[in-house]
Structure 1
Amino acid sequence: MGLLPRLRVLPEEAYKDSTDVSLSSVDIQEKVSPSPKADGTTVEALESESQEPGTLQSGIPYELRDEKGRKWWKYFDEFEYRANSEYKKSRNWYSFLYPNHTTQTKAERTLLYKLDLMIGLYFLMLCWCKSLDTNNYINAYFSGMQKDLNMTKNDYINTTAISNVGAIVLQLPFMFFLPRYPTHLILPIMDLGWSFFTFACYRANSLAELRAYRFMVSAFGSAYYPVSQYILGSWYAPDEISSRVCLFFCGQLLGGVTSGLLQARTYKDLNGVHGIAGWRWMFLIDGIAISIPCAIIGFFVIPGVPSKCYSLFLSDEEIRIARARNKRLQIKDAVDKTKLLSLFSWKIWKKVFFTPVFWVLLVFDTCSWNNMTAFSGSFLFWLKNDHNYSVVKINNLSVLPACLGFIFVFFCALGADVFRTKWVFMVFSQMMNCISCAILIKWDVSNGAKWFAFLITYFSVAASPCLWSFINDFLRLDPQLKAVTWIAIYSFSQSTYAWIPTLAWKTVEQPRFKTGYTVSLIFSAIYGLWTFVVLYFYKRNEKKNALGNGIILYNSDNGEAPPTFVDTQMEKRGEYYFVRETDTEKRDI
């Protein structure tokens, strides 16, 4: 463990007593002068205490906004209260990936470049490994595993359900681990376990043995969704994160593409070599050559979170900038362990279950799990039963929907960040999925119509980057609440995915799966409509936290005047208001 990255302590933090070293930087008051940047300016208030939603921050531009005559259609303006007009003007549309909102310096843009290389590409690799393993099971089924393990009737879907139970069971402890332990250790350790049992699948000689291995694979893989989203939400701004979650999700699509191609090549070149079947070789290659190296890389590239950073590659200045960004964006990424509530405390569960946000997001995520025709395997069943294709050709053709899925996911995720409106692309993607399901429910259509319906099935998952971005933004103010809520939502949603497919996608109904497409259409329709409910609560939440977002609200229609602190504690510079330089300490409103 001595070779692994250590907690980064900035020079100004060394002034704290040794008893305080464990505190995160967001709890440390600035002790020294701000360090100069390369362009000669200074980073102001980077080490000061984290700001509560009801406090003014020095160095932050505030928009004074009168809501008089507010139009009804502003309800659909997702960022109306999330960002002020200065924030929105601080980038060109074509630079949305690297807007450097806060400092307008090259250093912030360099920070984003590094984060994309460390977090974005690594999570793409990790998701690719996970998806490769999932799709290997599907492809292996059609490449000899079904016969070798005597899988009949609903054994295929039941094995999938059993493996999903493994993910649910081992996911719950992360409510405790996430806020307390370094993420650069949690995720790779779990990934090593996942890699070992992926490798073990090659030696399965019975269905029961395979199910045991698949259960353990999913159990160790339970960390990668919640931990990765927890990390992404700690580093990226609300109009940057959908694009980065898109990279993460593209790994899943890449797994769908490469699994079919690798399985086809493996089956062709290695089937029977050393007496090992082609489908067994795929698990060997996946576990040893792909998953284990990816897990080891994670120990060194996962940076932790800005206030508890373990990165080998970020400079002190870039860590300061990351903390300044989070300060302005009201993202609290960590808290001292001594301030965390016990999971047995009623207070934490009251925060979770007695707020409408939890239940709104629970329905949202549950719909997203159960509308996914893309991962049902129905396309391969159709190719096998309605076409006289060889095993190799079926594996090759299986990549087509996933290839188009790249386009669909990029369209929705990048569009959400460019136009700062996730809901539009979420609703559109579900409309397209409903069209696909409707065609396949009817079934008695032309062959071309079926091809069209199958090729657009990945619209069912195209909204996922936007969904996860929404959840991250809802939960950004409290790290422990974020961890508990994320895991609770994800575990419940995934638990429904463990039994609903066993009823909806019964293998004996292949290749038509009328029940499955009907269930997917219903969940997809609810998903699209529920987006407007989520938008309502999101807008309400951000209006309540408007001051922290740099917006000072009042409504002269109701006889309201600007708050008194605007005159007593602030000064106007151009279009915006700033805390007076003569008194830059935090003030509670």
Structure 2
Amino acid sequence: MRFLPHLRVLPEEKIENYSSDASVSSADLHEEASPGSKDEGTKVEALEHENQNTNAVHGGIPYELRDEKGRRWWKFFDEFEYRSNSEYKKSRNWYTFLYPNHTTQTKAERRLLYKLDLMIGMYFLMLCWSKSLDLNNYSNAYFSHMREDLNMANNDYINTVAISNVGAIVLQLPFMYLLPRFPSHLILPIMDLGWSFFTFACYRANSLAELRAYRFFVSAFGSAYYPVSQYVLGSWYAPDEISSRVCLFFCGQLLGGVTSGLLQARTFQDLDGVRGIAGWRWMFLIDGIAISIPCAIIGYFVIPGIPSKCYSLFLSDDEIRVARERNKRNQIKDGVEKSQLLPLWSKKIWKKMFLTPTFWVLVIFDTCSWNNMTAFSGSFLFWLQHDHDYSVVTINNLGVLPACLGFVFVFVCAWGADLFRCKWIFMVFSQAMNCISCAILIKWDVSNSAKWFAFLITYFSVAASPCLWSFINDFLRLDPQMRAVTWIAIYTFSQSTYAWIPTLAWKTVEQPRFKTGYTVSLIFSAIYGLWTFVVLYFYKRHEKKHALGNGIILYNSENGQCAPEFVNSQMEKRGDYYYLKEADSDKQ
């Protein structure tokens, strides 16, 4: 048993409490079968009480007393103004931004981050690489005689992509229920095994209809990857660490784009016709058996769950304590007992989500990020094939160049966001560059070198994604159930637009120019860049509301306010910061 993932119970935690919680959870699952249960109101009150506690004063945490008198207008652009206090900012040297220990001031914090990066950071990179490889192989296979073998014509290419996207949307919705209730080290590997099987099955497709069915299920089983990975990453990393880790995750997607072309080129060259199997079929075989299935098995052992319910074989008890202490300092509520979860059909959940302006602001934000992606349109490959006399192998090899540069773009945006604690400026910059790329390609009648430049910077369209997902994670950190429901609602809505907009904008019959596609991408990219300021406004408002939980005691003497009474009665000053008195701290 000790060699298999199991719920970690620390010595100071009473085992009998876990057994009693388990019995209550079972009863709650039974009660959830009856909408309008009399205990639903009790659960709501418990959750509201819990959310209020996240904005309370806690022992052992330094608090900054801040007078807002004379606050300058340009402070609006200080993204972390209310997200963390000056002690938190000063306790991290710039060169340690990847591995700080400013929350606990111990080596154990850095050691925890090292381990997390090796476990979930590198694993999600590997898994995203596998997923991206499976998805990118469709484009490479299309240009490696799959089109001819399956008699694909007109808009069959983009319509097949749309059908597979529907599969991801349909099977994503159940995770609203599953994510807060079941451990991620079980959910993700099970779904990945299904994804691996249907990737493998693509090799035997003998008709377009059969291929579309397999691609539908590949995307359906792959639907768990994004919500589960973001849920896990948001449960372990601080707000000024997560963009860099989502960057690792996203680099797996870029790596898939790079290696897919190179592997497809090599496979086509060496295996085309071997044992009577076409080269493009060999690629699906290799992906499914040699890459995807091992990734699923590894995931069962390395995904640690969440700090409050850790299943890791590799983290020590002290490191789990450090993770929980970090979450307490960073106002991250990573999990909740099943007994406190509302039924998914409860009106409370849906009213709270749909009647919150932030939800709609983030929906628009994510929708723009999905539909500005010239990088994944396949337009570069179409141009290489149409305007150049290149062989299949050369097209596949050259096709990886934009993705290779994409690594640089993504690292600059994601690492810069954490280094400077400023996501918005890198998001605006990336979208400005994408607008330049789209503008050149819309004009089209430009020099060959200008087109090369425009195609090579297309990955700026996706470079802001780690920052986007970090923003969403931070907005939703206070309520685990709402985080699961809202994350998937946002992702499902925006992805659903990606299922039909490309069929109108990127019609295969318009290749290689795709004027409509670049125009649509330019519009979404411009809105994306401008909408970043709207998101920043709501983010600042959200963090100001929860400033006390972030270690900041606010007042404005300009409006006649003075420091809250509890500062004098319950807190003591040590140096420049205030701490809860020990007697009061013991009561917490």
TM-score (norm. length: structure 2): 0.94
**Inter-partner Cα distance in structure 1 for 2:138 and 2:245:** 27
Task: Decide whether aligned partners of structure 1 residues 23 and 585 sit closer, same or farther in structure 2, where only a CA change above 3 A counts.
Answer: farther
Matches within 5 A, 1:535-554: 535-554=536-555
Give the match's secondary structure for 1:577. strand
CA RMSD, Structure 1 to Structure 2 (Å): 1.4
CA contact (8 A) 1:55 1:586 kept: no
Q: Which residue of 2 aligns with 1:477?
A: 478
**Inter-partner Cα distance in structure 1 for 2:14 and 2:438:** 60
Aligned partner of 2:67: which letter?
Answer: D
CA contact (8 A) 1:570 1:578 kept: yes
Matches within 5 A, 1:241-252: 241-252=242-253
* Alpha-carbon distance, 1:4 to partner: 3.4
Matches within 5 A, 1:90-239: 90-239=91-240
Task: Decide whether aligned partners of structure 1 residues 18 and 389 sit closer, same or farther in structure 2, where only a CA change above 3 A counts.
Answer: closer
Aligned partner of 2:109: which letter?
Answer: E
Moved over 6 A (4+): none
Q: Which residue of 2 aligns with 1:5?
A: 5
* Alpha-carbon distance, 1:409 to partner: 0.1
**Inter-partner Cα distance in structure 1 for 2:549 and 2:187:** 32
Give the match's secondary structure for 1:585. helix
Give the match's secondary structure for 2:578. strand
CA contact (8 A) 2:186 2:300 kept: yes
CA contact (8 A) 2:231 2:484 kept: yes
CA contact (8 A) 1:270 1:281 kept: yes
Q: Which residue of 1 aligns with 2:40?
A: none
CA contact (8 A) 1:371 1:523 kept: yes
Aligned partner of 1:219: which letter?
Answer: A
**Inter-partner Cα distance in structure 2 for 1:176 and 1:366:** 23
Q: Which residue of 2 aligns with 1:395?
A: 396
Q: Gaps spanning 5+ residues in structure 1: where?
A: 25-48
Q: Which residue of 2 aligns with 1:434?
A: 435
Residues 471-506 of structure 1 show CA distances to partners (whole Å, capped at 9, x for unaligned) of 000000000000000000000110000000000000
Task: Decide whether aligned partners of structure 1 residues 573 and 331 sit closer, same or farther in structure 2, where only a CA change above 3 A counts.
Answer: same
Task: Decide whether aligned partners of structure 1 residues 8 and 22 sit closer, same or farther in structure 2, where only a CA change above 3 A counts.
Answer: farther
CA contact (8 A) 2:3 2:313 kept: no
**Inter-partner Cα distance in structure 2 for 1:479 and 1:23:** 21
**Inter-partner Cα distance in structure 2 for 1:479 and 1:139:** 39
**Inter-partner Cα distance in structure 2 for 1:22 and 1:242:** 35
Give the match's secondary structure for 1:151. coil
CA contact (8 A) 1:57 1:586 kept: no
* Alpha-carbon distance, 1:537 to partner: 0.2
Give the match's secondary structure for 1:55. coil
Give the match's secondary structure for 1:343. coil
CA contact (8 A) 2:51 2:479 kept: no
Residues 44-85 of structure 1 show CA distances to partners (whole Å, capped at 9, x for unaligned) of xxxxx9982331100000000000000000000000000000
Higher helix share: 2
Q: Gaps spanning 5+ residues in structure 2: where?
A: 25-49
CA contact (8 A) 2:51 2:478 kept: no
**Inter-partner Cα distance in structure 1 for 2:465 and 2:23:** 35
Give the match's secondary structure for 2:66. strand
Task: Decide whether aligned partners of structure 1 residues 343 and 61 sit closer, same or farther in structure 2, where only a CA change above 3 A counts.
Answer: same
Aligned partner of 1:438: which letter?
Answer: A
CA contact (8 A) 2:273 2:279 kept: yes
Give the match's secondary structure for 1:9. coil
Aligned partner of 1:56: which letter?
Answer: V
Residues 294-337 of structure 1 show CA distances to partners (whole Å, capped at 9, x for unaligned) of 00000000000000000000000000000000011110000010
Q: Which residue of 1 aligns with 2:558?
A: 557
Matches within 5 A, 1:244-323: 244-323=245-324
Residues 550-584 of structure 1 show CA distances to partners (whole Å, capped at 9, x for unaligned) of 00000000010000000000000000000011321
* Alpha-carbon distance, 1:18 to partner: 5.3
Task: Decide whether aligned partners of structure 1 residues 23 and 307 sit closer, same or farther in structure 2, where only a CA change above 3 A counts.
Answer: farther
* Alpha-carbon distance, 1:102 to partner: 1.3
Task: Decide whether aligned partners of structure 1 residues 493 and 17 sit closer, same or farther in structure 2, where only a CA change above 3 A counts.
Answer: closer
Task: Decide whether aligned partners of structure 1 residues 16 and 552 sit closer, same or farther in structure 2, where only a CA change above 3 A counts.
Answer: farther
**Inter-partner Cα distance in structure 2 for 1:586 and 1:292:** 50
* Alpha-carbon distance, 1:14 to partner: 2.9
Q: Which residue of 1 aligns with 2:54?
A: 53
Q: Which residue of 2 aligns with 1:505?
A: 506
Task: Decide whether aligned partners of structure 1 residues 475 and 339 sit closer, same or farther in structure 2, where only a CA change above 3 A counts.
Answer: same
Give the match's secondary structure for 2:185. helix
Residues 130-153 of structure 1 show CA distances to partners (whole Å, capped at 9, x for unaligned) of 110111000000001000000000
- Provide the aligned length of Structure 1 versus Structure 2: 563
Residues 182-208 of structure 1 show CA distances to partners (whole Å, capped at 9, x for unaligned) of 000000100000000000000000000
**Inter-partner Cα distance in structure 2 for 1:53 and 1:297:** 35
Give the match's secondary structure for 2:201. helix
Residues 243-276 of structure 1 show CA distances to partners (whole Å, capped at 9, x for unaligned) of 0000000000000000000000000000000000
Q: Which residue of 2 aligns with 1:20?
A: 20
Residues 435-478 of structure 1 show CA distances to partners (whole Å, capped at 9, x for unaligned) of 00000000000000000000000000000000000000000000
**Inter-partner Cα distance in structure 2 for 1:91 and 1:405:** 29
Q: Which residue of 1 aligns with 2:46?
A: none
**Inter-partner Cα distance in structure 1 for 2:199 and 2:565:** 63
Q: Which residue of 2 aligns with 1:424?
A: 425
Give the match's secondary structure for 1:56. coil
**Inter-partner Cα distance in structure 2 for 1:516 and 1:23:** 55
Give the match's secondary structure for 2:245. helix
**Inter-partner Cα distance in structure 1 for 2:331 and 2:583:** 24
Matches within 5 A, 1:318-467: 318-467=319-468
Task: Decide whether aligned partners of structure 1 residues 323 and 51 sit closer, same or farther in structure 2, where only a CA change above 3 A counts.
Answer: farther
**Inter-partner Cα distance in structure 2 for 1:317 and 1:284:** 43
* Alpha-carbon distance, 1:101 to partner: 1.8
**Inter-partner Cα distance in structure 1 for 2:560 and 2:551:** 22
* Alpha-carbon distance, 1:3 to partner: 6.2
Q: Which residue of 2 aligns with 1:578?
A: 579
CA contact (8 A) 1:56 1:586 kept: no
Give the match's secondary structure for 2:53. coil
Q: Which residue of 2 aligns with 1:89?
A: 90
Aligned partner of 2:324: which letter?
Answer: R
Q: Does 1:490 align with 2:491?
A: yes
* Alpha-carbon distance, 1:16 to partner: 4.2
**Inter-partner Cα distance in structure 1 for 2:14 and 2:561:** 47
* Alpha-carbon distance, 1:428 to partner: 0.1
**Inter-partner Cα distance in structure 2 for 1:194 and 1:302:** 18
**Inter-partner Cα distance in structure 1 for 2:316 and 2:54:** 29
* Alpha-carbon distance, 1:354 to partner: 0.4
**Inter-partner Cα distance in structure 1 for 2:221 and 2:475:** 27
Aligned partner of 2:285: which letter?
Answer: L
Residues 192-239 of structure 1 show CA distances to partners (whole Å, capped at 9, x for unaligned) of 000000000000000000000000000000000010000000000000
CA contact (8 A) 2:9 2:15 kept: no
**Inter-partner Cα distance in structure 1 for 2:151 and 2:324:** 56
TM-score (norm. length: structure 1): 0.94
